[in-house]
Amino acid sequence: MSDGLRTGAMRGDSLLFLTDEQLRQGIEAMFFAYRGFTADPDRILSDMAYGRAHHRALHFISRAPGTTVNNLLNILGVTKQSLNRVLRTLISDGLVESRVGRADKRERHLFLTDDGRQLEQTLSDAQRARMRAAYRDAGPEAVSGFRTVLEAMMDPEMRRAYTRLKESGQ
């Protein structure tokens, strides 16, 4: 790696980072890192009757309280049948509340209950702890590059969803 390159440097030596070998290393890095990324919440959830799908639902409901089922569907990229199975258990277990829409009564708006918030917090804390350690080790410039590449890797539609969430957040 190393490489100063960049500005006047995109010729000759450069583009080395686009070799098949470099790309393959990136692919493997994504694979191994994603395993770490999900490991901690998975461990916590394995003791309960929940799985990764429940975590994802809790995360995005927490992030966008009042979101509709349809919106959540699009963000998660699963079918309504699949999401419904997850939501049903979360609602009946009292972690998520579903309120009929005021403007459009067909819609259901989703909120976390106190219990839901608490579980989400537990999972989130575990995942953030790993993220924080990685960020700290890598430093701010690496983090910036990390986010840039991830964003470039998304499907355009998901990039829009991501950007929307990001802007609503801060």
Partner DNA sequence: TTGGAATGTCAACAACACTGACATATACTG
Partner DNA sequence: CAGTATATGTCAGTGTTGTTGACATTCCAA
- Residue 82 binds DNA, judged by CB under 7 A: yes
CB of 16 to DNA, least distance (A): 33
Stretch that binds DNA, among 3-11, 31-39, 73-81, 111-119 (CB under 7 A): 73-81
Q: Which of residues 120-149 bind DNA (CB under 7 A)?
A: none
Kindly give the pairing relationship between strand 96-100 and strand 108-112. Answer: antiparallel
Query: What is the distance in angstroms between the CA of the first residue and the CA of the last residue of the chain?
Result: 33
Distance from C-alpha of 168 to C-alpha of 170, rounded to nearest angstrom: 6
CB of 85 to DNA, least distance (A): 6
Which of 24, 35, 43, 88 forms a contact with DNA (CB under 7 A)?
88
Stretch that binds DNA, among 17-25, 27-35, 105-113, 116-124 (CB under 7 A): 105-113
- Residue 62 binds DNA, judged by CB under 7 A: no
Report the residue count for the chain: 170
Query: With contact defined as beta carbons under 8 Å apart, do 93 and 87 qualify?
Result: no
Rg (CA), the chain: 20
Count the Cβ atoms, other than its own, within 10 Å of residue 45.
Answer: 20
Residue closer to DNA by CB (options 2, 81) is 81
Distance from C-alpha of 110 to C-alpha of 16, rounded to nearest angstrom: 48
Positions in the binding site for DNA (CB under 7 A): 49-54, 68-70, 73, 77-88, 98, 103-108
